[in-house]
Structure 1
Amino acid sequence: MLVTPESAITEDFMTFLNRQRLCHRLDRIVIDECHVVLNDQTNFRPAIAQLGRLLMAQAQMIYLTATLPPTAENQLFQRLRTSREKVHLFRARTHRMNVAYRLWQPTVPNQYANSYDWVEDPNIVRFIRDRITRARAQAGRVVIYGLTTKTVDKLAKGFECEAYHSHTIDRHSVLARFQADPIGVVAATSALGMGVDIPNIRSIIHIGLPRSLLDYAQESGRASRDGLRSEAIIIQPHGFLRPKWDPIHKDPVKAQAEQSRLDRYISQDCRRVILDEYLDSYQRQYCGESDNTEQRCDRCDEHWQANEEVASELAHQLGSEPARQLGSEPARQLGSEPARQLGSELG
């Protein structure tokens, strides 16, 4: 039986569980993506924080997640109303060797007064179009993440793709159409961050910094579940900061801690150093340190930024107008040749 958190914590469902237990028909309860219990963003689903009530059913509990930092284990057990001593814990490293983590910080004019309006800048439009062309050349899909529904709607309109967020009327149909299109593009909020297992998403693009490093790990983890090469890019222009009104946490101390982690991710010499340290308590110095097949981040790939400049200039020379033409057949037919000229696979 599958049940939502909102239904799972109701008195009616607890009564149902008790009846199943008394009839010896309740074997265990599984909470998938259990790390979301720790999410205390101001606009997040409050029922999830109450899932610890399910312990009252007196059944075996199984908690599953691939996105739980070791430093958050005890807090998770507390939220679930258990303790470390009562849990058999099995961990494996969560790093994604096939994902190239990148941060692109272009310089854009100060004319964009409203939050994230800089996504309309021609250079950024060309850059995103280039990533889509490269992904399609590899028969792959693209997800473009925005922090707000307004930004996502703007992206969907500009790049002629569908929007996926909390206000989308039929998210199931949007996701189904995206899954059916082998070179599809979708603009989304973090609502598309969990439970999506599509094998050939070759590029994950974040418009602005994500709310937290944990959210970024979850969302970038949608890339290339088939194990092939992919990229996860954050676009954050110089001089444009996260809007102060954008809620991160109810607790200002936690909000500051999240911001500090993101600051380290931006400033660190290697992106993987911060991700692996936070998600797995794994210490390293650079990409490919123990395996040269591991995809390099932008800091460890000395040629990446130059390649992006060439890509943007080539797209401009090819007459790439802003994103309203993105979904047209000519745009698709730019195809794999530019991608091959600019470097192997996703460059």
Structure 2
Amino acid sequence: MASERANTPLGVLQSVFGYEVFRSHQADIIEDVMAGQDCFVLMPTGGGKSLCYQVPAILRSGTAIVVSPLIALMQDQVSALKANGVKAAYYNSTLDVQTADQVLMQLHTGQLDLLYVSPERLFNHTFLQQLQQLPIALFAIDEAHCVSQWGHDFRPEYRQIGQLRTFFPQVPFIALTATADEATRQDILQRLHLQQPKVHISSFDRPNIRYTVLEKRQPMKQLLRFLEARGEVQESGIVYCLSRKRVEEVASQLQAGGYNAQAYHAGLPGEVRHSVHQRFIRDEVDIVVATVAFGMGIDKPNVRFVVHYDLPKNIEGYYQETGRAGRDGLASEALLLYGAQDVVTARHFVENQPDEHQRRVEGFKLSSMVDFAESQTCRRRVLLNYFSEATDSDCGNCDICLNPPEFFDATVSAQKALSCVYRLNQGYGLRHVVEVLRGQDNERIRQLNHQALSTYGIGREHSAAEWDSILRQLIHLGYLLQDIQQYSVLRLTEKAGEVLKGQVCLQLAKPRNPIGKTTRPGGKQQKADLSRVELERFETLRRLRKEIADSEERPAYQVFGDAALIEMAQRMPQTDAELLQVSGVGESKLARYGFEFLAELRRLQQA
């Protein structure tokens, strides 16, 4: 431990990690874990999940076991913890026999606060028996959505983790994930056998990320224009493509355009993938063009943009991938290029899923992703609503808010739609509701006798596309929900009553080309609105950080993050005490890097 006084959660936060105060929910979660309580934590990428188990791991007796499916992330987190003076190690398939034995020796002699373990190593019979003989501070299950049958990332070994509770009945468990809809949350709680868990759900909102969707027309030119608009300063970014072939094509064209870009996909040799990963986190590669296999293990705070060159398969994946931008809280951008052919291709894969139940789930998730791309309402509201987080205000930081569509008084149309869902006993999907509203004469409607409903044909004034848009907006705004577990039937929410009773005047967007052009506002945003002098200081400090990081063979952000450098450039600390006041500067980093940074800051002050 870095300090004698670091014997409370806040003391550890300040002296070890260099932060003055906890973020939302962190203190409550840590308090529950310290008391031996099981916890389920749903917190967005960059929200500070790791501290929720790292702080208790330092304070509780014994060793904390962190189960993670991501080898690269294990290595990055252990390296970062060691930089902060924390006793940590990882145990996975990358270790040679001698190193693995050394880690086990440290574990058995009580020399570790945290041990990161892959699920394969965890369920090795001998290792599991050894753990039962040792004092375990807690179990942290990272990427907990992997245990769920509803989760978007399937990992067979993760499905066994619930068995741990049988072997360790008195040890607190904390399950953490960044993305899980309501069905996935319940599945995680059930499969992990958590004991009366405290459920902590943070806001999914990442206000520093701007969401933009463009119709896919000449996508490479669109990508190049996007990069050009961001300015000449070298920035870290990720471009996601669905196929390996597309990854290599895009990477090659970016290289030809003068960009420092590299390809990453599972078909490349392991040493190539490892090299690309390491060079990216050390700021030696600016842009990685990758399949979704890349990124889950990237604990890199200064990714400034994420581009989806192809349509993601579901909102969970999209949210998590875009969430790799702006983990440091600075302004970042997420661009999605959306084309109709992407939808056709994705639906083909869904329809070829042999399991009917899984096909239904994946079909719903794909439809929700299409809804997001075609949304006429604030994109952030669509995202948050998908994760059951309703909000009453638009974000002001997405393409819809910045280039809004034309609106109309849709109160009567909404009442017709909601009444139709009610008359159908909330038991049918969107397409059937539209057909009833428009008075369609088809075999299914006659068979169900729905032509006799009072709402049959009351909506002939709108086309099918217009009703489709209206219903999707009502879903996005929280007046309707689609029940994923019941064939995506439409159901009324409590809010629907406000519209049906005429208590609100509802304005909806007029349907327009669902993938019409949007104009990208602004251009390159300077770091935290720094002045010219402050920006020059920041670049000087960044060069010093890079020199130190290279000499220690570690990522630059593990020395100090961009946010810390920005604060230094603005506040210009001149003493140890002043440098400690900078967010992200703890006692261990002060001891390790303080002399060089203070010397540079004093030189800049005198310049």
If the TM-score is normalised by the length of the shorter chain, which range does it land in?
A: 0.7 to 0.9
The number of residues matched between the two structures is 286
How far apart are residue 217 of structure 1 and its match? Answer: 0.7
- Residues 180 and 274 of structure 1: is their aligned pair in 2 closer, same or farther, counting only changes over 3 Å? same
Deviations 1:89-145 (A, max 9, x none): 1221121101111111134xxxxxxxxxxxxxxx32122122223445344212000
Give percent identity, aligned residues only: 28
1:93 pairs with 203, 225, 234, which one?
A: 203
Aligned to 1:5: 119
Q: Does 1:60 align with 2:60?
A: no
2:188 pairs with 69, 73, 76, which one?
A: 76
Contact 1:41 1:247 in 2 (8 A): no
- Residues 103 and 51 of structure 1: is their aligned pair in 2 closer, same or farther, counting only changes over 3 Å? same
Q: Does 1:224 align with 2:326?
A: yes
2:305 pairs with 179, 183, 203, which one?
A: 203
Contact 2:147 2:155 in 1 (8 A): no
Which of the two has higher C-alpha Rg?
Answer: 2
- Residues 247 and 54 of structure 1: is their aligned pair in 2 closer, same or farther, counting only changes over 3 Å? farther
Give the AA of the match of 1:32: D
Contact 1:153 1:163 in 2 (8 A): yes
Take 2:341 and 2:245, find their aligned partners in 1: how far apart are those partners?
21
Q: CA RMSD in A?
A: 2.8
Take 1:28 and 1:211, find their aligned partners in 2: how far apart are those partners?
35
How far apart are residue 13 of structure 1 and its match? Answer: 3.0
Take 1:217 and 1:39, find their aligned partners in 2: how far apart are those partners?
19
Aligned to 1:301: 402
How far apart are residue 4 of structure 1 and its match? Answer: 0.9
Secondary structure of 1:100's counterpart equals strand
Following superposition of structure 1 onto structure 2, how do residues 1-347 of structure 1 map, counting pairs within 5 Å?
1-20=115-134, 25-38=135-148, 44-58=154-168, 59-82=171-194, 86-107=196-217, 123-135=218-230, 137-160=232-255, 161-168=261-268, 169-170=270-271, 171-181=273-283, 184-243=286-345, 244-246=347-349, 251-269=358-376, 270-288=378-396, 295=397, 297-302=398-403, 305=517, 307-308=519-520, 343-345=522-524
Deviations 1:225-279 (A, max 9, x none): 2222211111122454242453697511211221221122123222112211122
Higher RCO structure, 1 or 2 (CA under 8 Å, sep 6+) = 1
Structure with a larger share of its residues in helix: 2
Take 2:393 and 2:120, find their aligned partners in 1: how far apart are those partners?
43
Q: Which runs of 5+ in 1 are unaligned?
A: 108-122, 289-294, 309-341
TM-score (norm 1): 0.73
Q: Which runs of 5+ in 2 are unaligned?
A: 1-114, 256-260, 405-515, 527-607
Aligned to 2:96: none
Contact 2:276 2:285 in 1 (8 A): no
TM-score (norm 2): 0.43
- Residues 273 and 42 of structure 1: is their aligned pair in 2 closer, same or farther, counting only changes over 3 Å? closer
Contact 2:213 2:335 in 1 (8 A): yes
Contact 1:135 1:142 in 2 (8 A): no
Take 2:379 and 2:125, find their aligned partners in 1: how far apart are those partners?
46
Deviations 1:15-46 (A, max 9, x none): 222232xxxx2221111121222266898432
Deviations 1:201-236 (A, max 9, x none): 222111221121001110000112222221111112
- Residues 53 and 306 of structure 1: is their aligned pair in 2 closer, same or farther, counting only changes over 3 Å? closer
Take 1:306 and 1:28, find their aligned partners in 2: how far apart are those partners?
49
- Residues 343 and 190 of structure 1: is their aligned pair in 2 closer, same or farther, counting only changes over 3 Å? same
Contact 2:241 2:247 in 1 (8 A): yes
Contact 2:144 2:176 in 1 (8 A): yes
